[in-house]
Structure formats: C-alpha cells, structure tokens
Amino acid sequence: MDTKILIIGACGQIGTELTKTLRATYGVENVIASDIRKLNNDVVNDGIFEVVNALDYNQIEHLIEQYNITDVYLMAALLSATAEKNPAFAWDLNMNSLFHVLNLAKAGKIQKIFWPSSIAVFGPTTPRHNTPQYTIMEPTTVYGISKQCGERWCEYYYAQYGVDVRSIRYPGLISWSTEAGGGTTDYAVDIYHKAITEGTFTSFLGKNSELPMMYMDDAIKATIEIMQAPKENIKIRSSYNLAAMSFTPKQIGEEIKKHYPNFTLDYEPDFRQKIADSWPASIDDTSAREDWGWKNDYDLENMTVEMFKNLKKHIYN
Ligand code: VAH
C-alpha cells in the first residue's frame, strides 16, 4: 500500500518544515497537513490541508478513512515554557492527542506513528553530561512529565498491541523559517533574527547555560530516517536520544560575531533559567547512530552560516 501521510500540528515549529520535506519526498498528493487553524500560508496553500483538532478522536478518524492514511506524524504539543503557564491544557493536549493516535493504530486504522519526545524528559537528578539513553528521569516540567509519560505509553502500545510507533527525544531545535514557539531553547532562534534586525540581543538564559541543540534540517532528516528504517532496526520503542551539538548563549554569541562583529549580547535570566538548569548539557545518542544510522550534518559553525543565508534570502531581503 502506498504511503499516505497525515501530519497533525503541521503549522508548528517542526510541523512546517516537516510538511515541506514530506511533500517533496512522498509527493504533495500523499501528504495531508492538518492543524487546529490555518496558521501557516505555505503549509495551507502548497498542498492538501485540513483543519482538525488533535483532541477530537472522530475528526482524526474521519481524516484517516477519507484519505486512506497509513502513517501519522503527531506534532501537536505545548512546549516547555508555554506548558508551565497552562499545565492542565498542556497535559490534555500532549497526552490525549497521543492516546487518540495510539488507539487508532491499535484498531488497525494506522500502520505507523511518529511521536516527538524531548530531552525535557530528563531532570535535575539526571547525569548532565553525555546523558545516556537509559538513566534517571525525574522531569520537573509539565512538558517533560507529559513526554516521559508519552514514552511509556508508546512502549506499552508496541509491546502489548504491536503498534509501530517511533519516537525521538529532540534537543532544542533551531529553524530560520518559523518564529520561536514558546520553548526554553528558543532564545537560540530569536538571537539570529535580532542580530540582523537590531545588532543586539538579551538572552533569557544565563551566559553559561549549556544545552543540547540541533539545526532543524537535521531534525527533519532524523524524523524521516527513523520512519523509513526497517521495523527490526527500531530496538527502542520509548524514544531515542538524538544529538548534534551543545552550546551556551555565550558561545552562540561568539559565533554570530564572526558574521556581525558589532553584535552585542547581554543576559537577563527569567523563569526559563530554572527549566534549562533541569535539563542535560549534552546527550549520548549512540543508540540512534547504531540502530538506524543517525548522523548529524550541522554544527554551530555551519548552522550559523545557513541561518544567516536563509534569513537574509527569505525574510530580511
Ligand atoms: C522546548 N524546544 O524548549 C523545546 C524542546 C528540549 C527543548 O523540547 O520546550
């Protein structure tokens, strides 16, 4: 049966890039993008788009039957900083959207699921450097708790019902094409915009807050690679650690100064500092590299070149 894809949350930070790449990979006619509202013109206008509420089981089921969907990428979620401001809704959205998709797969209506986890599943008691795939996980954010729970349910639905759900613990993701979306790592997106527009930036994380990060192109590549990997290669059914680089606000500032020598950076840590302090500084992703051939293409230096090239070409031209 040909791959027919439904993306739920297609207008989000990952969803917009993922939709573009999936349409290019599988053909526009084989990718149904969906979101709660028409939030991104390219996603809505460059292919098939449907308005769907990720919390409405019947709406999702109807789309799956209408388009003979085989694969679902569930990208709808509230990220860490936003979730702290609205814990009840964050839990509802992050968990019940997952249950809907898992149960549709259990009922035989979906063949394969991608569900994003995050390094936010780790907490202040987790070893911070080169954090292993299996370790202490005591997340202290609503977002991290929901992602840790989601991983357990993914593993349970695979073991008990044979649901082919695959997952990645994304680090902080950096993209030129979408505005920062309520994440604790999103200072690393906004800093590039402000380097161009204002020549200065105030970081809401402190100078030495080292966090695992990744360029969006690498994250999209990993997402499609794990979904295309032979089933027998996916040995971890909770979620795979994934890494590319780690840096501090000071280090990204220094990289930006290679392009904008007069750029200035200062620091005013806010409530997000406590979230960042609870996360690892770096991640061991050996399992992803061994099981399904993961390899990152971008580091801080070439990502910064790409970010400024694309921002100046597409946004600040
Ligand atoms: C956030 N960008 O900051 C997300 C990510 C590891 C962080 O999950 O909430």
Which domains does the chain show, CATH number per domain?
5-116+141-168+215-230 (3.40.50.720), 173-213+244-282+297-314 (3.90.25)
CB distance 83 to ligand 1 below 6 Å: no
Strand 172-174 relative to strand 245-247: parallel, antiparallel, unpaired? unpaired
- DSSP codes joined into one string, 39-51: --HHHHHSSEEEE
- Output the CA torsion 296→214→250→256 (10° steps): 80
Cα(276) to ligand 1 centroid in Å equals: 9
CB distance 79 to ligand 1 below 6 Å: yes
pLDDT score, position 208 = 98
pLDDT along the chain (317 residues), means of 10: 94 95 98 96 96 98 98 95 95 98 98 98 98 98 97 98 98 89 90 97 98 98 98 98 98 98 98 95 98 98 98 94
pLDDT score, position 178 = 82
The neighbour count for residue 313, using CB atoms within 10 Å, is 10
Cα(109) to ligand 1 centroid in Å equals: 30
pLDDT score, position 182 = 79
The neighbour count for residue 45, using CB atoms within 10 Å, is 9
pLDDT score, position 183 = 86
- Output the CA torsion 216→219→221→225 (10° steps): -170
For residue 122, what are its two tokens?
Answer: 């780790």
The Cα 235–Cα 228 span in angstroms is: 14
pTM: 0.96
pLDDT score, position 293 = 98
Residue 143 a catalytic site member: yes
CB distance 239 to ligand 1 below 6 Å: no
177 near 311, Cβ under 8 Å? no
List the residue whose alpha carbon is closest to atom 1 of ligand 1.
Answer: 183
Residue to mutate, 14, 79, 142, ligand 1, most ligand atoms under 8 Å from C-beta: 79
CB distance 185 to ligand 1 below 6 Å: yes
The Cα 183–Cα 186 span in angstroms is: 5
pLDDT score, position 271 = 93
List 265's β-bridge partners, or say none: 201
Q: Which of 143, 192, 215, 267 is catalytic?
A: 143
268 near 200, Cβ under 8 Å? no
pLDDT score, position 179 = 75
pLDDT score, position 5 = 98
CB distance 118 to ligand 1 below 6 Å: yes
